[in-house]
Structure formats: C-alpha cells, structure tokens
Chains A and B, each alone.
Chain A
C-alpha cells in the first residue's frame, strides 16, 4: 500500500512539473522590450 502511494505521488509530481513548465512557457508577455508595439 505504501509503495502504491509513493508511485501515485511520482505521477502527481510529473503532472505538477508539466503545469510548472506551462506557467514558465505561457505566462506573461515578451517583457524584455520596453516597446513591444514600437512599430505597430
């Protein structure tokens, strides 16, 4: 049973990692430039 919970935890850790990666990749704009719409 204990082993089973551990593997479930591993699975949830992987899901958390995917969510974390999604936040890094999709949150916020291209913020380094002060004028994103400088020409548009």
Chain B
C-alpha cells in the first residue's frame, strides 16, 4: 500500500463527508422525533439537549400525558433480575399502551436515580411545551436523609442551571469542584448541545449499557458461563444494605429541600392549569424487614398526605399507594415485577382517565 498524498486526501475526504453526512441525517430526523418513535430510550437521561429534543419531538393533537418519577417507571430492576424483554414490561410502557389513542400519547421522563430537584429541573423544560396531564410518582428514597441536601440531592448535574439560585446554593458541594471536573462538565455539555452525533451516541448507549456498562458485560458473561447461583442472594443482601438508609428512623422535614422542590413543581404546574396526579409509589415492607422503621414510615406518609392536602383544593390529586400491593408483586423494595406493573399500570390508567386534560 502506498501512503501518498492522494491516499491521505481520499481518506480525509471520505471521513469528513461521512461525519458531516451523519450529522445532517441526525439534524433532519431528531427534531421530527424519528428516533424516539422507533427506539425506547426511557430510563436514563444523558444531557439537557436530549431532554429538550424528547419534549419537542412529540405533539399529539389532544396533548401529551407526561410521566415523571424514578426507576420505578423504567426497566433497570427488571433487567437486573434478568426478566426477558424487560423493556416491554415496564410500568411506563404498559401505562402508555393503556392510555394511547389516535390523538393522545404519553411520554416517560422517569429516569434512574431521579430526585425532586431533578424533577424541578425537568419542569423548567416541560413548561415550554405544557403537557395535557402530568403523573408524578413519588418514592420514599426521594425524601431520604441521604438526598436532602448537598450535591447528592441532584442526580443529573446538567439540570442545575434550571433550578432557582436558592436551590442551587443548597446543592453546592462542601468543597468546590476542581477546574478539571468543571472543564470536563462544560466540554460534555457543549458537545451535547452542538454536536448531534455525539448527543445521540450518548443516548443510544442506553439501549445496551443499561442499567450500566458493568451490567451489560455481566449479562454477556452469564450467556457464556451461565449464571452464578449465589449471585442473586448476594445482590439482594447488598441491595438491602443500600436501601436500608431510605427507611431508617428519620422524619421528613417539610421545610427541607425535597419538599421545597415538590412545592415549587406543584405551584408551577398549577399556574399553567395542568391537571396533575401525584402517587406515593407502592413499597414492599416484607423485603425491608427489620430495616424498616415502621413509626417513621407511617409518620412520613401522614406528613406527605397533609402536605398534599394543601394542593387538593387546587385540583391536584394525591394517592398514597404505599401499601397497595402484596409482596409477590415486587422484585425488591419498590420495583414491581411484570404482574405488579400490569396491575399498577391498570390502576394508574383508571385514575388518569378520571382527570380531564
């Protein structure tokens, strides 16, 4: 092979034209919603630009039902438990199928690890294209002590700029981030903002590296070597340790960050006259066992119900479904199996149908 001027000219032209071609193709198809209609990217959110694309891409004639919440809506727990065709058995997919009509569709912006400051950050975007109805699924972990202030109270840094300054101050880390990490964040955001190929590539990873890259490689390994029988027990024990903090003896502070963000979300949706249903998502008390502090659990539920009563007069419906389903419907502390998701979706659809858009 001869590496001469003509060879390099050909290679350069071919590479640049293909990159430009891919960019033009994506710029033409992303705003029309082509990729969102044909692939299920739910469960994660990789950039602010992606969030804006997803919201702008769907405009059904009679409006949109917007589903907000955390991993309860998505496929991560089902995939972790190796449920086949997990993406077809998620709460968001089943609910979308039940609510679908020729003029009406629903979209889930529920993402793994979402907390109430994240949902307020998303609200700033959704109000630019107000949906017909909003369903918000609250989870116990959203109010947990671990996430009530500091940088861990926001799962996606790119939503920070959408939050009021007072909230941003509460989310600030004790030590300011290094210049390198700030530069890395800015570079990532700028590439997602201006380079469609990069943005869509980040989003496309959700289709295979889900819920994480580690899980993807573990699944491949299991296909070759078979499943480790002790793994499930170990994973369950690890999960119990991890989630025990969410259910410890701790009373939620109504002046704390999660309630402050919830209040601001509800007020903003109410000002836009968007019908809202808020549900405290079902919990599996049997899984939690001794990790659950029952007095705090009951008191916190009552605190949330009394907080939501203030909004009932403004037409915002609140339902506490924390004790609604038997333990056999769950995969773990709060994620439901296929059967559980079917019942949950059916019950949510009934409630939503009673709320006129």
- Name A residues whose Cβ lies closer than 8 Å to a Cβ of B: 2-3, 5-14, 16-17, 20-21, 24-26, 28-40
Contacts and interface: CB of A to CB of B under 8 A. Distances in A.
Contacts of B90: none
Is the contact region of chain B dominated by helix, strand, or loop, or is it mixed? helix
Contacts, number: 137
Given A9-B8, A13-B13, A30-B44, 20 more contacts: A5-B6, A7-B10, A9-B6, A10-B10, A12-B11, A13-B14, A14-B15, A24-B198, A29-B214, A30-B205, A30-B209, A30-B211, A32-B44, A32-B158, A33-B45, A34-B113, A39-B77, A39-B113, A39-B332, A40-B239
Contacts of B248: none
Contact of B7 (A9, A25, A37): A9
A32 B47 CA distance: 7
Interface stretch (B128-136, B149-157, B222-230, B256-264): B149-157
A9 B112 contact: no
Contact of A13 (B12, B211, B235, B243): B12
A32 B214 CA distance: 15
Nearest to A12: B11
- Among A26, A31, A35, A36, the most chain B Cβ lie within 10 Å of the Cβ of A36
B197 interface: yes
B175 to A, nearest CB: 16
A13 B15 contact: yes
Contacts of B13: 9-10, 13
A30 B212 contact: yes
Contacts of B111: 33
Given A9-B7, A30-B210, A30-B213, A38 B155 contact: yes
A29 to B, nearest CB: 4
A33 B8 CA distance: 40
Contacts of B2: 5
A3 B112 CA distance: 53
A19 B272 CA distance: 47
A6 B7 CA distance: 5
Interface centre among B12, B19, B112 (most CB of A within 10 A): B112
A3 B285 CA distance: 73
